[in-house]
Amino acid sequence: MSLLPRKPPSIPLLNPLRSSHIPAPPTTSLCPASQPKPKQNLLPLICRRSISAYGYTQSKALLYSTHGEPSSVLSLHTHSLSPPSGPTVTLRFLASPINPADVNQIQGSYPAVPEKTTLLGTPSPSAVGGNEGVAEVVGVGGGVKTLQKGDWVIMRRTGMGTWRTHMQVEEKELVKIEDKTGLTPIQVGTVSVNPCTAYRMLKDFANWEWNGMEWFVQNGANSGVGRAAIQLGKEWGLKSINVIRKREGWETLRDELIEMGATKVITEDEILGKEFSGMVKEWTNGGREPIRLGLNCVGGKSATSAAKVLAPGAHLVTYGAMSKKPVELPTGLLIFKGIHFDGFWVSKWSDRNPVEKKQTVDDVLRMTKEGRFKDIPVMECKWDRETKEDTLKDAVQGTLEGFRAGKGVFVFGDT
């Protein structure tokens, strides 16, 4: 029997295996004031939606008409949705993450921004925040073919606006979760960005031999993408060197990442030190185990140091710039080692490759259900019918604050 690690499927499985529920890790409340009060009505949430006698659904959306800081430009807008007709469906959101890119869009500093319109009845053209999330189908038009009430869906493309309680959209704009058994809304709602980014970078930028003796190196290893890369690397038999910041309690974080599947965890100080190349040589059996890929979300000297230990012909893929410093390209790495320097933007990739996106999502969720892919730490902000505008705005603004215990996520209750 072969002892080699499992090679990732060239076409990920489309029918996730049924499995028992995998409990989510403990979460932190992002906005304690919004905790829902106990309710006496035990009917399902869908039965308690605000629906008028004429079938109209009341929706609330966190939107903006001008660019600036979230606390200044976001507002909570209430509007009504008519009953769905033709190919349209009505959705009730379950969970919507607050990603840094979402905040950058609001600030006007992101390369892609959603179109502003007055379709929701706003005085000025506006856009709803958020690009990622999971929703439940609560109404279908007569022309809908593949969806029915109770199905879970994610957005097929970016810029659709997921920070809202309800939404009406055409069926073709959605990706159905084929089997939601054993999955939580947070697990599904956070799958489209970080896990997909890690999955595609690991799979698309290196010529792996899948022999269990190959490495990748990454900075920002505690990020959502970094944690996903560690777990996927372990699943596929790839060894990893992971760089984290040396802040208070970093040893605990190091142990957590190693338990998750990281081979080596070092600090930013160590990757910039003179001993780093010697450490790498020892770990890689004198360089006979090649480092075929580097993942960079920091930039600056950290990226340069990672590039210097790559094997000839390897790729350094940049997907972020947390330090706000440019990536410096040593001439020798380009001429003599043939190192490739690439960029990856999951939003553009997803929009251009909808079929591959669905395959990637399905494969990650399959591993999640089987207990081989763990959730990222999150900070929940409960969004109920009575949640105030300031609570939601504070949750978004808080994303800009330094180190946090987890990713912010709007978790919808009785809306």
pLDDT digits (tens, 9 = 90+) for 230-251: 999 999 999 999 999 999 889 9
Residue from 54, 56, 64, 110 carrying the catalytic annotation: 110
Does residue 235 or residue 36 have the better pLDDT?
235
Strands 28-29 and 378-383, by their bridges, are: parallel
Confidence at residue 6, expressed as pLDDT on a 0 to 100 scale: 54
Given pLDDT bands bounded at 50, 70 and 90, which one contains residue 7? low
- Between the alpha carbon of residue 84 and those of residues 144, 148, 311, the distances in Å are 10, 12, 55
Q: What is the mean pLDDT of the chain?
A: 89
Given pLDDT bands bounded at 50, 70 and 90, which one contains residue 20? very low
Give percent above pLDDT 70 in the chain: 87
Confidence at residue 53, expressed as pLDDT on a 0 to 100 scale: 43
Closest residue by Cα to residue 146 from 162, 168, 170, 164:
170
Examine the pLDDT at 214 and tell me if it is beyond 80: yes
Examine the pLDDT at 268 and tell me if it is beyond 50: yes
Examine the pLDDT at 1 and tell me if it is beyond 60: no
Does residue 52 or residue 14 have the better pLDDT?
52
Tokens of 234: 């372990």
Confidence at residue 406, expressed as pLDDT on a 0 to 100 scale: 87
Confidence at residue 252, expressed as pLDDT on a 0 to 100 scale: 95
Strands 166-170 and 152-155, by their bridges, are: unpaired
Q: What would the mean pLDDT of 189-212 be, rounded to a whole number?
A: 97
Confidence at residue 45, expressed as pLDDT on a 0 to 100 scale: 44
Give percent above pLDDT 90 in the chain: 80
Q: What would the mean pLDDT of 381-398 be, rounded to a whole number?
A: 96
| 110 has catalytic annotation | yes
Strands 88-98 and 134-140, by their bridges, are: antiparallel
pLDDT digits (tens, 9 = 90+) for 86-120: 999 999 999 999 999 999 999 999 998 899 999 99
